[in-house]
Amino acid sequence: MSSAPLICTPAALASAGPALKAAVLAEALPYLRRYSGQTILVKYGGHAMGGGSGDGDTFARDIAFLKQVGIHPIVVHGGGPQINHMLQRLGIKSSFVNGLRVTDQATLEVVEMVLCGTINKQLAAEINAAGGRAIGISGKDGGLIRARRLTRNGELGFVGEPEEIDRRVLDTFRQSDIIPVIAPLGVDAGGATYNINADTVAGAIAAAVKATRFLLLTDVPGVLDDNKELVPELTAAEARSLIASGVVTGGMTPKVETCLDAVAGGVEAAVIVDGRVPHAILLELFTEGGAGTLIRGG
């Protein structure tokens, strides 16, 4: 893990001469080869989206870059803050149980509307503006996510969990230049729509497509050890142990658990990445640096 600054200012980039740039490109060759033809699942968070730092822009360019060089990105996004904002505008009260939004019919309609009609379209459009060919869909489209009601956390209404992923539409996209951007909703056998935690959806799809990397973009640096230092890499066993010992706590716990599920489901490695860092995805995949904590099977 390099100690170099994680942010390259426009001035720094401008002052880098073409010779340096060519050298940097050439240096990426082994990484390009390693991931060529592989699938990279990227969870893009609602928090990261709101930032004024232009991260959305570097995110979109990173995703377009992957597809351009023969790697297959799949993007899953959330949208909590934007949903909250619209619920407020419509005067709908929202409550949470164990961090999960209690979702009645009126809330569900707003959730779907904001996720699929605002965030999903904006993300796809940004990737397209960066030169990709993104298509925004929800987990309801193409039968992608068969959901069931989530009941183990009490009565939450239309909150669900993935029961089965039907990867056929993703396979069709994979053979084309289409980049899928997925909103975390699903439908049950009876046709009811469910709001699903975006991290959970991302992990489940990562496992279903046997992604090489599951990049969980967050707004924290990664897993911290008991000295509050970033841990660059963990085995699954070590990660479980950090949860058991209480070093990993709070909102980080479900994130690590989602990573563990993905790894157990066949993903080669899951990475909790600091999405606030520009070009976090290229940084993680194509340089010796990185901006988070990688959890590997074992």
Residues from 64 through 83 that contact its own copies (CB under 8 A): 64-65, 68-70
Sketch the per residue contact string, 265 through 294, with its own copies: x for CB under 8 A, - otherwise.
------------xxx--xx--xxxxx----
Number of residues lying near its own copies (CB under 8 A): 82
Residues from 139 through 198 that contact its own copies (CB under 8 A): 140-143, 168-169, 172-173, 176, 178, 185, 187, 191, 193
Distance of closest approach, residue 225 Cβ to its own copies, in angstroms:
22
Of the pair 261, 286, the CB lying nearest its own copies is at 286
Write a three-state SS string for the chain: CCCCCCCCCHHHHHHCCHHHHHHHHHHCHHHHHHHCCCEEEEEECHHHHHCCCCHHHHHHHHHHHHHHCCCEEEEEECCHHHHHHHHHHCCCCCCEECCEECECHHHHHHHHHHHHHHHHHHHHHHHHHCCCCEEEEECCHHHCEEEEECCCCCCCECEEEEEEECCHHHHHHHCCCCEEEEECEEECCCCCEEEECHHHHHHHHHHHCCCCEEEEEECCCCCECCCCCECCEEEHHHHHHHHHCCCCCCCHHHHHHHHHHHHHCCCCEEEEEECCCCCHHHHHHHCCCCCEEEEECC
Q: Which of 40, 55, 58, 158 binds its own copies (CB under 8 A)?
A: 58
**Least distance CB 180 / its own copies (angstroms):** 10
Segment 106 to 135, residues that bind its own copies, using CB under 8 A: 109, 112-118, 120-121, 124-125, 128-131, 133-135
Distance CA 177, CA 139 (A): 20
Instruction: Quote the least distance from Cβ 251 to its own copies, whole Å.
Output: 26
Write down the least CB distance from residue 298 to its own copies, Å: 26
Q: Could you tell me the smallest distance in angstroms from the CB atom of residue 50 to its own copies? A: 15
* Comparison of 118 and 297: residue with beta carbon closer to its own copies: 118
C-alpha dist (Å) from residue 123 to 42, 60, 114: 13, 8, 12
- Residue 51 CB, nearest approach to its own copies (Å): 17
Is 138 a binder of its own copies (CB under 8 A)? Answer: yes
Q: Which is nearer to its own copies, 257 or 287 (CB)?
A: 287
Residues 232 to 261: which contact its own copies by CB under 8 A? Answer: none
- Least distance from its own copies to the Cβ atom of residue 88, Å: 11
Q: Which is nearer to its own copies, 113 or 264 (CB)?
A: 113
